[in-house]
Amino acid sequence: MDLIRIIIAILLPPLGVFLQVGFGGAFWLNILLTLLGYIPGIVHAVWIIAKR
């Protein structure tokens, strides 16, 4: 299941984080990072998924 979440995180980083943690602080941080730059959003999403 983590592999699917990582693939989703590469395509749509906030969705990958949402599937992992819901509407927590990490989700909103990821939206901000994705808006500031797509790559930081991907890195953060993969980090959140791999950490849990």
What is the rounded distance in angstroms from the CA atom of residue 2 to the CA atom of residue 25? 20
Note the pLDDT of residue 29: 96
pLDDT values of the chain reduced to their tens digit, one per residue, 52 residues = 779 999 999 999 999 999 999 999 999 999 999 999 999 999 999 999 999 7
Question: What pTM, to 2 d.p., does this model score?
Answer: 0.90
First to last CA, the chain: 12
To the nearest 10 degrees (0 to 180), the angle between helices 13-21 and 38-51 is 20
Residues in the chain: 52
